[in-house]
Structure 1
Amino acid sequence: MPFNLLILRRTYKNVNRVRHIVNVLLKYGFGKIVDQLHLGRFVPFRKRLKTFGQWPSLKSPTVPERLRMAFAELGPSFIKLAQILSTRPDLITRPFADEFKKLQDRVPPFPTEYAKKIIEEETGRPIEEIFYRLDAEPVAAASIAQVYHGTLLDGSEVVLKVQRPGIRDQIETDIIILTAVAQLMERYISESIFYNPSGIVEEFARTVRKELDFTEEARNCNRFKRNFENVHDVVIPKIHSEFTTDKLLVMERIDGVRIDNIPEITRLGLNRGRLARIGVDAYFKQVLEDGFFHADPHAGNIFALKDGRIGFMDFGIVGRVTPELRETMANTFLALIHKDFDRLIEQYIELGLVPEHVDLDVFRREFRMDLADFLEPLYGRTLKELNFAEYMDTVTRLAIKHKMKIPSDLILVNKAMLILENLGWELDPDFDFIAAAEPYAIKLVKERVRPARIYEKARKNLMEVGDFVALFPKQMKLIIRKILKDDIHVKMTHIGLEKLIRDMDRSSNRISFSLIISAILLSSAIMHALKVGPMIHGMSFLGFFSFGVAFLLGVWLLISIIRSGRL
């Protein structure tokens, strides 16, 4: 409770930002949500009256479209949130995820003078003592940073990533507000609990704070460079750590063309099939061998070099895969390749995707039927004919239907693989994505039965058994002692009781409010009859004023009832 109160107090300090968010939500037709969250106090009464009754027409944009437009208008924090949510259709449903994918992280650039000032403040040196040349205009401008090209005094061509002035404070402010809004949603909108608003905000805060720390990105880049030091065909840029801080990142410039620039790749005479194979091999190495992968592999972050190699950029968003998850993913790939439905379902259960309360026998039967409807037509096809992107999309839809819990890192893996398959098909229409995965999957499965690995697993299991044998008598003695002392407590959870209490509170409040209005109206009638106070045209001024107050309060009550959708 103290934490919640602290959040709310800090939110009120940023009341102008809260008011702006509420106004934008009203603008795009989310007045009902504003009322349900009790945020109407941030909107002038006259504006609430103006928006009353303005319901979206049949020709107006859909709810996902309107929410996407609202997030775009609310700026960098909400754009980032939408981009993160676009990778979680299991949380927000497919229509919202598809709509959020349309949001592009494009904002007007800030003046280069500010960027130079930040560079000098972060390095503690004048520009002239660091760079032989620094471009006057940025090559890219995003919500968190701007990118410049430059040349160091030693002749090294570099890329500079300079953080936007004040962006940290703005994002922290929005995180505070979003946290408070998430708590209000869980309190007042019971249906929202299924989507876990607080969990979404926590994931967003964790991701965006990592992106704000450029030293974290530098560490990620250095780790990738170590992982690929023996892979000649993959280039990871060198970090100039002497100039890198949490607000400034200076790295080696990779001279190449975007991986989706097919005309330029063709003009350079590069082998497109080889480029596709190098890029996909690099990702399977990251996911299935290193357990540390680039989680944002869009075309702007992958370059084809003139000598036929591939270079990676932008390591702000990374994912991690545990050895257990890598093993299960390998088995999933093999199950897909061999079209083994039952084994595929067992891998999903082993991944912990199925909620605990679900009847596993029923789940196996129903999920297999749904999965078979999609995978059965694949029998008789060659590996080249399998559409991995379509497969992943269908499995995600099935996960939503069966309310499976998909880990965020697994979602990042799926997102990366889908992007990679699309890039592979652009480079080489005959590229066989699943066949490229098979050697890595087989290698992981062989690793699973390696004697040293089996011994290590057996050792861990024996240690767990030993711990259980040692602790069991103590735990039993503690339970018996509590039983003898009559100190056993049973915790009961009333499902839906809080919603009932809230509804009862809301109903009693409305009844009390109605009684107050009735009392004011009755008082107004009495004052008119007894001609209390000053008279205007034969009417009591106090009585007329009381009637006006009662009328406004009555309209306010009517609006809140209509907005709640419960007449």
Structure 2
Amino acid sequence: MHIGIVDRYQDLKRYSHIASVFVRYGFGELLDRLRAEHYLPRRRRVFGRKAGEFRHLSTPERLRRAFEELGPTFIKLGQILSTRADLLPPSFIQEFSKLQDSAPPFPFADICDTIESEFRRPVSEVFLLIEERPLAAASLAQVHRARTGTGARVAVKVQRPHIRALLETDIRILHDFANLSERRLPESRYYQPVRLVNEFARTIRRELDFVREGRNIERFRRYFAGDATVYIPKVYWDLSAPKILTTEYIEGVKISDIDGLNAAGLDREAIAVNGADFTLKEVFEHHFFHADPHPGNLFVLEDNVIAPVDYGMTGAISDDLADHILAIFIAVMDKDIDSLVRLLQEGNWVPENLDVDSFKLELQDFLERYHGLSLQEVNMSEVLGEAMNMIRRYRLHMPIDLVLMARALLVTEGVARMLYPEFNIVEHAGPYAKKLVRQRYGPIRYMRELYEVAGEAEAFARRLPGEMGQLLTKVMRGDLSIKFLHTGLENLIMEMEKSSNRLSFAVVIAALIIGSSLIFQSGLGPALLGYPVMGLVGFLFASILGIWLIASIMRSGKL
């Protein structure tokens, strides 16, 4: 993507703001280690190392407050990091979970401007009525209740003005910091900062794509069309645009409003079961799930029907990943430690330097403690918490969609237990898992796979003669070449470039000093206070360059 001069200027201003906030919250030393001064205006290049008024706070709390102050992008980043219990310790997860996706409402005039800009006609011609007071105001968008020309009640989600430009600026800055971290902070490489930022950028750009969110809603409507326990709102495509999403207004009770549920005469046990069924069906049957099923996004209608809203964040499990998860599940049930470790290695989920023997012993101890327990005795939150601790200790790398799936199941269990404390999602998930096993190892699946393999074999057989002929032709012509790719040498190359630049400066300084000395000895040219002007100018330039070179070396910490 082409970045213009205006964008770079905006980046520079935002860099300064981000740096000042992190310094104020006590992260100046981290910026020093990153040597981020090259990305900042000169007046911002001296970083403090004290947390000042925030020094009494823990590191996770200071980071959470910094994210809050830095606005929508960093709030969203913290919220997504709060789902990564496989990467971060509980103290960070707990703090980031406090980040609320709320913001002061923006003016109704901006709502009207966006609607008129998107539809190219007055608001009164788009909606019969739109309420000025918002139903909800979040960091990326704002929701207003409205009526269509036919009188239907709808919820209109309108994107905040200029939010995309701010997000893109922040994403570029996060990419810069991620690259610096991987190059200059060896301990950060386990967390794969560049990969994390790429995943975050993809997630938040999807949330800003209201057309995509509308497609997600329609996909869920197809999946649950015949399910009387779930209701998915309708999308009004004629009243939607890239920055506006209009959906059917859901008139229900929030699933977390226990008093409201009781007052409406709803059955909390049935709600818990229906909510869990919704999550289990989308995960195990459709492999496409609502990745943010917190209580604020779930409403309950008459007859204990579950009505989810806000489909901006979704997850998907590919068929290959589903098969891999199922194989892992079977290995766990059989307590087959060797197969379990092999499957984790085949999925590239384990680091190359894994202590396999120690990992196997801990896996065996973990499985022995839960094997043989009745489903009623298994607490999913406890099991997943312990599993995540093991994942962090051994630095396993889990696919992001698998982590989101685990979180969705965990949140679902938490909501269900809030409604009905005796609920056990592990016991409830048993029939879904058995159905998945039957589908995976049934004759229809084997016949389909055999047909696919036969097709691939036929295609390979057709391509082989031609590709072998091309290879032999290249060999005979001497055109066959082998490419070598060097990795891990970036830091060495950069340091060599710095050293050669400094050496060049030193040679230039030495030449100025020697040349000026010869001019002083010869006394050639005009004089000032009895000294040759050319010699004085040469010594002056040599002094300036020498001081700059020394300062540069000292600033790098490699004197």
- TM-score when normalising by structure 1: 0.83
Counterpart amino acid of residue 560 in structure 1: R
Q: More deviation in 117-126 or 69-78?
A: 117-126
Of all paired residues, the percent bearing the same amino acid is 38
Aligned to 2:436: 444
- Equivalent in the alignment of 2:410: 418
* Among 168, 171, 174, the residue aligned to 1:175: 171
Q: 5 Å matches for 1:89-238? A: 89-90=85-86, 96-189=92-185, 191-238=187-234
Deviation for aligned residue 1:181: 3.7
User: Is 1:428 matched with 2:420?
Assistant: yes
Q: What are the ranges of 5 or more consecutive residues in structure 2 without an aligned counterpart?
A: 518-522, 531-535
SS of the equivalent of 2:106 reads coil
Q: Equivalences for 1:341-352 in 2 at 5 Å?
A: 341=337, 344-349=340-345, 351-352=347-348
Task: Specify which of 78, 102, 112 is matched with residue 82 of structure 1.
Answer: 78
Whether contact under 8 Å (1:327, 1:444) holds in the other structure is no
Deviation by residue 1:519-561 (Cα, 9 ceiling, x = unmatched): 9999999xxxx9x9689xxxxx999999996897588447624
Report whether the alignment pairs 1:398 with 2:390.
yes
Give me the CA root mean square deviation.
Answer: 3.9
Provide the secondary structure at the position in 2 that maps to 1:235: coil
Hey, what does 1:538 align to over in structure 2? Answer: none
Q: CA deviation at 1:184?
A: 4.1
Question: How far apart are 1:439 and its partner, in Å?
Answer: 0.8
Deviations 1:247-287 (A, max 9, x none): 11111122222212223223333222211111111111111
**Structure 1 counterpart SS, 2:299:** strand
Structure 1 residues 340 and 390, CA gap change in structure 2 (3 angstroms): farther
1:19 matched to 2:16 = yes
The amino acid that maps onto 1:28 is Y
Residue 455, structure 1, aligned to residue 447, structure 2: yes
Alpha-carbon separation, structure 1, partners of 2:230 and 2:273: 11
Q: Write the distance in 2 (CA, Å) between the matches of 1:267 and 1:255.
A: 15
- Aligned residues, how many? 550
Matched letter for residue 404 of structure 2: L
Q: What is the rounded CA distance, in whole Å, between the counterparts of 1:213 and 1:327 in structure 2?
A: 30
Alpha-carbon shift at residue 472 of structure 1 (Å) = 4.8
Structure 2 match to 1:243: 239
Q: 1:415: how far off?
A: 1.5
- 1:560 matched residue in structure 2: 555
Q: Which runs of 5+ in 1 are unaligned?
A: 536-540
Secondary structure of 1:87's counterpart equals coil
Question: For the structure 1 residues 28 and 490, does the alpha-carbon distance in structure 2 shift closer, same or farther, using more than 3 Å as the test?
Answer: farther
Contact 2:146 2:154 in 1 (8 A): yes
1:33-92 deviations in Å (ceiling 9; x for gaps): 44455542565656545x456478995444443333322222112222222233234456
What amino acid does structure 2 have at the position aligned with 1:279? G
Q: Secondary structure at the match of 1:249?
A: strand
**Counterparts of 1:341-420 in structure 2 under 5 Å?**
341=337, 344-349=340-345, 351-354=347-350, 357=352, 363=356, 365-420=357-412
Give the Å deviation of 1:29: 3.2
**What SS does structure 2 have at the residue aligned with 1:147?**
strand
State whether structure 2 residue 31 is matched by structure 1 residue 31.
no
Deviates more, 1:326-335 or 1:217-226: 326-335
Distance 2:224 2:348 in 1: 31
Mark the CA change 1:286 to 1:89 in structure 2 (over 3 Å): closer, same or farther: same
Please tell me whether the aligned partners of residues 175 and 197 of structure 2 are also in contact (alpha carbons under 8 angstroms). Answer: yes
Specify the SS of the correspondent of 2:304: coil
Q: What secondary structure sits across from 1:375 in the alignment? A: helix
Distance of 2:300 and 2:464 partners within structure 1: 60
The CA distance in 2 between the partners of 1:123 and 1:476, in whole Å, is 57
Contact 2:332 2:340 in 1 (8 A): yes
The 2-side partners of 1:329 and 1:284 are apart by 15
In 2 relative to 1, CA 533–276 (structure 1 residues): closer, same or farther, beyond 3 Å? farther
Structure with bigger RCO (C-alpha 8 Å, 6+ apart) = 1
Find the counterpart in structure 2 of residue 265 from structure 1.
261
